Amino acid sequence: MAGTANTPPPGLYVEYNHDLNVSEAFLQNYAPVQEALRDQRLLAQFKYYDSKAKSHKQMFHLLGFGSLLLGLLTLAAAAISVIAGRSLVQGIGPLATVAEGGSAAAVFLILWNRLRRHRVLWCQSVFCRERLRQWHFQLFLDGRLISLLATYPDQFRAEVDRRWGTLQQNLRDGYGLMMAFVRHGSRADDFFHQPSQYADASLAKHVLDALWTIRFEHQLRYGQRKVEPEAEQAGMALEERTNLSEAVATFTLAGAVLVGALGFLVALSQGFPGLNLFSGSPETAETMSRRFAGSALLLAVLSAATRAYRAGYTLPDESESYEEYCDRVREYKAVFESASTDQERFRELERLEAEAALELRRFIRMKMRATFIF
């Protein structure tokens, strides 16, 4: 029990990746495979890629969203100029100049984002991070290898070191390895280790029990976090952002069409006075027609900007991807629970690993398409 006094109990704080960084209390229950369950070498490299993924993701979104806001500012200023009947520079001076010059700053942010390759490096970091996770859990499908841990631990370590070295060499290809995985994926490439049966039923039970918690349950809970309708932390949940952005995009576009139609009716009344659609003077009608046109343009710009926001954050594709993945994991979990033999349970673990590779492939394809303006 030493060392637990200053450690807060789990349950109240958001934790990620504890499928790899398992607790000491958990490890003590699986002494025969304890060494394989937590690999400090892998964990250190995983944390490195995770940090890089978060950093590049943050910069990609920051620069992309900033360019979108600046571009929106310029287009909104143009629409307001139509409504006002003159350039904003003539009305509010330097501040309007900044607003109308936002497009130049937006282009700069877009080019800087592309030159720094934040989107690509984010995807590469996620790819390397998740392939490490998959490499780790696929080890347990190789019963002959894990059995060495109990009988010939030195042979186990030597073989794992060899496979680790091969993984490290392959990861050096970086972008090329990721694109080959995405575009030319196959089951042979998805699996790092050849599945083999366990000769020791007791050892197999330890592995199955452990993976039930840190593979099945962890994957399902993580996916469920992502599709929950309410945010886990401060901010908006993925579903909330998706629904709100869709509502704004639809409402503003519908408003633009409606306001444009009203402007058309005002203009029509001037072309055909006999229709008596508008009783004001021609000057008033012209002013109203211009304001309707400017308002329609402003609403259309807001709708386009919202859809660009959805494209940059890959809404709603990301939510649908998590929902699909959760459905598959639940399916495998149900079969795992009802299986009558260990061999059948390991087969479901194998299917889970194949699905995890497919989900990673979907994620990278989706994020490589993400763009805010161009």
Same domain, 136 and 49: yes
Same domain, 112 and 174: yes
Structural domain includes residue 216: yes
Q: How far is residue 90's CA from residue 81's CA, in Å, rounded to a whole number?
A: 10
Same domain, 65 and 179: yes
Same domain, 157 and 300: no
Structural domain includes residue 118: yes
**DSSP conformation letters of 66-125:** HHHHHHHHHHHHHHHHHHHTS-HHHHHTHHHHHHHTHHHHHHHHHHHHHHHTHHHHHHHH
Same domain, 175 and 255: no
Structural domain includes residue 151: yes
- pLDDT at residue 82 in the model: 82
Same domain, 74 and 171: yes
Count other Cβ atoms within 10 Å, centred on residue 72.
21
At residue 31, what are phi and psi to the nearest 5 degrees?
-55, -40
Structural domain includes residue 5: no
- pLDDT at residue 330 in the model: 95
Structural domain includes residue 235: no
Q: Cα 312 vs. chain centroid, distance in angstroms? A: 11
- The pLDDT confidence band at residue 1, using thresholds 50, 70 and 90, is very low
User: At residue 4, does pLDDT exceed 80?
Assistant: no
In this structure, what DSSP letter does residue 20 have?
A: T
Question: pLDDT tens, 263-297?
Answer: 887 777 766 655 555 555 666 767 888 888 899 99
Strands (E), 99-208: none
Reading the block at residue 370, the tokens are 């993400």
Same domain, 220 and 302: no
Question: pLDDT tens, 309-345?
Answer: 999 999 999 999 999 999 999 999 999 999 999 999 9
Question: pLDDT tens, 89-120?
Answer: 555 556 566 666 788 889 999 999 999 999 99
Helix pair 143-151, 153-171: axis angle to 10 deg = 140
Same domain, 340 and 278: no
Same domain, 210 and 256: no
Poorest-confidence range of 82-91, 130-139, 229-238? Answer: 82-91
Q: Which helix (H) or strand (E) holds 294?
A: helix 282-312
Find out whether 216 and 332 touch, Cβ atoms under 8 Å: yes
Same domain, 194 and 104: yes
In this structure, what DSSP letter does residue 169 have?
A: H
Same domain, 193 and 213: yes
Tell which wins on pLDDT, 227 or 363: 363
Question: pLDDT tens, 43-66?
Answer: 999 999 999 999 999 999 999 999
Domain boundary among 283, 309, 335: 309
Same domain, 61 and 207: yes
Structural domain includes residue 360: yes
- pLDDT at residue 3 in the model: 46
Domain count, the chain: 2
- Domain range for 290 is 241-309
- pLDDT at residue 48 in the model: 98
Structural domain includes residue 26: no
Question: Exposure of 217 by Cβ count < 10 A (0-12 exposed, 13-18 middle, 19+ buried)?
Answer: middle
Q: How far is residue 338's CA from residue 272's CA, in Å, rounded to a whole number?
A: 77
Structural domain includes residue 33: no
The share of the chain scoring above pLDDT 90, in percent, equals 70
Q: How far is residue 174's CA from residue 74's CA, in Å, rounded to a whole number?
A: 39
Domain boundary among 293, 309, 325: 309
Domain boundary among 258, 276, 309: 309
CB within 8 Å of 103: residues ≥ 6 apart = 70, 71, 74, 75
Q: How far is residue 28's CA from residue 36's CA, in Å, rounded to a whole number?
A: 13
